[in-house]
């Protein structure tokens, strides 16, 4: 089997510094947060980010959906380092420096577009007991510019080095023109372009850019909720997940040499994937409910494990097995974190 080499995997997305801390109910009430939620920051949350750092023992992790996935792919592969390249936008500030250091520690070859108009994006994870309330402030992540970064020769060269590309749907809200350039390159050169539906709001409010990219998508990821919303937006008139997978597979495709693969996860239920003309169910690994600490990074982790096998040219079944393994590891821990080495064979 081919082993992965440097810069084989390319990811682009919203780099966020995850700031997690244990807080009390008063803190949640002060900022009007529910114990278990994921929201985008509004003006009233601005002070939250300064306060959470001051008042609690804080953990920092390089985050953002795509960056999480490529980081986990790198962790699964272990050696060589820098199998994964990552592009995204940060600010020229303290949090940006932490993000660079964290990416380096994860052995990801991050090349950030740095600008000083907006601060580095952050995601505050306010933990109370088993609950975590997430507040994301995209800030700099929103400022990625194709012509200022992706189009530069030295950066584009890294794009062309890759064989597998992964971009979460979240980036459609930032720079669809960047995604299109990368997707077309993959399609024109018979390489593998992967995308994620990421959240129901992407299919609902960013359907146009999503469908502009879809003909170039070789592998599409999503969970059951995102799949159902996507089907509704496209008028599939079915809520059967296998049927949705099949109809998604049959959407128009630019590179006819590769049949589209659709992979939908369903939490503890079987993962659904199109294998050739059929739809196959793949059971996830058993886990005791009491061992589940935090399911939040599970989707990103599944994709990361999947990609680690994909860049080594393993079969689809093997990619899914790797995805199930890494997701199973991540849900036992707070945030998208992992032990030193995987125990996956």
Output the pLDDT for position 1: 60
Tell me which residues are annotated as active site: 300
Q: Which CATH architecture has domain 9-15+63-119+138-331?
A: 3-Layer(aba) Sandwich (3.40)
Rounded Cα distance, 222 and 217, in Å: 13
CA angle 142, 128, 45 (to 5 degrees): 35
Instruction: From first to last of the 345 residues of the chain, give the pLDDT tens digit.
Output: 667 899 999 999 999 998 888 899 999 999 999 888 777 888 999 899 889 988 768 888 878 999 999 999 999 999 999 999 999 999 999 989 989 998 999 999 999 999 999 999 999 989 887 777 888 899 999 999 999 999 999 999 999 999 999 999 999 999 999 999 999 999 999 999 999 999 888 999 999 999 999 999 999 999 999 999 999 999 999 999 999 999 999 999 999 999 999 999 998 899 999 988 899 999 999 888 878 776 678 899 999 999 999 999 999 999 999 999 999 998 887 767 787 898 887
Residue 235, burial from CB neighbour count under 10 angstroms (0-12, 13-18, 19+): exposed
The whole model's pTM is what?
Answer: 0.92
Predicted confidence at residue 332, as pLDDT, reads: 83
Name the residue with tokens 């199998």.
Answer: 83
Give residue 93's pLDDT. Answer: 95
* One-letter-per-residue 3-state SS of the chain: CCCCCCCCEEEECCCEEEEEEECCHHHHHHCCCCCCEEEECCHHHHHHHHHHHHHCCCEEEEECHHHHHHHHHHHHHCCCCCCEEEEEEEECCHHHHHHHHHHHHCCCEEEEEEECCCCCCEEEEEEECCEEEEEEECHHHHHCCHHHHHCCHHHHHHHHHCCEEEEEHHHHHCCHHHHHHHHHHHHHCCCEEEEECCCHHHHHHCHHHHHHHHHHCCEEEEEHHHHHHHHHHCCCCCCCHHHHHHHHHCCCCCCCCCCCEEEEEECCEEEEEEECCEEEEECCCCCCHHHCCCCCCHHHHHHHHHHHHHCCCCCHHHHHHHHHHHHHHHCCCCCCCCCCCCCCC
The closest alpha carbon to 245, from 211, 222, 270, belongs to: 222
37, 153, 197, 243, 250 from 200: Cα distances, Å: 15, 35, 7, 18, 21
């Amino acid at each position: 089997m081919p082993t992965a080499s440097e810069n084989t995997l390319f990811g682009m997305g919203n780099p966020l510094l995850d700031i997690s801390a244990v807080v009390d109910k008063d803190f949640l009430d002060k900022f009007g947060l529910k114990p278990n939620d994921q929201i985008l920051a509004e003006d009233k949350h601005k002070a939250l980010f300064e306060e959470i750092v001051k008042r609690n023992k804080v953990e920092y992790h390089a985050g953002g959906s795509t960056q999480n996935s490529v980081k986990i792919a790198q962790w699964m592969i272990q050696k060589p380092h820098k199998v994964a390249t990552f592009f995204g936008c940060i600010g020229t500030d303290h949090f940006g420096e932490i993000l660079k250091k964290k990416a380096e520690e994860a052995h990801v070859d991050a090349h950030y577009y740095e600008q000083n108009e907006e601060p580095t994006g952050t995601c505050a994870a306010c933990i109370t007991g088993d609950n975590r309330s997430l507040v994301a402030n995209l800030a700099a992540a929103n400022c990625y510019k194709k012509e200022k970064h992706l189009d530069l020769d030295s950066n584009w060269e890294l794009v062309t080095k890759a064989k597998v590309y992964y971009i979460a749907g979240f980036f459609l809200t930032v720079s669809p023109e960047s995604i299109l350039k990368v997707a077309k390159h993959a399609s024109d050169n018979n390489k593998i372009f992967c995308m994620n539906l990421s959240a129901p709001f992407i299919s609902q409010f960013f359907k146009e850019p999503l469908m502009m990219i879809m003909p170039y998508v070789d592998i599409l990821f999503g969970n059951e909720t995102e799949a159902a919303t996507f089907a509704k937006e496209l008028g599939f008139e079915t809520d059967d997940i296998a049927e949705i997978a099949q109809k998604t597979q049959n959407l128009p495709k630019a590179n006819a040499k590769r049949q589209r693969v659709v992979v939908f996860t369903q939490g503890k239920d079987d993962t659904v994937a199109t294998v050739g003309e059929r739809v196959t169910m793949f059971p996830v690994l058993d886990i005791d409910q009491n061992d589940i600490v935090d399911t939040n990074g599970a989707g990103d982790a599944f994709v990361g494990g999947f990609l680690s096998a994909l860049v080594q040219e393993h079969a689809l079944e093997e990619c899914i097995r790797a995805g199930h393994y890494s997701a199973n590891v991540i849900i036992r821990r707070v945030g998208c974190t992992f032990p030193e080495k995987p125990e996956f064979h």
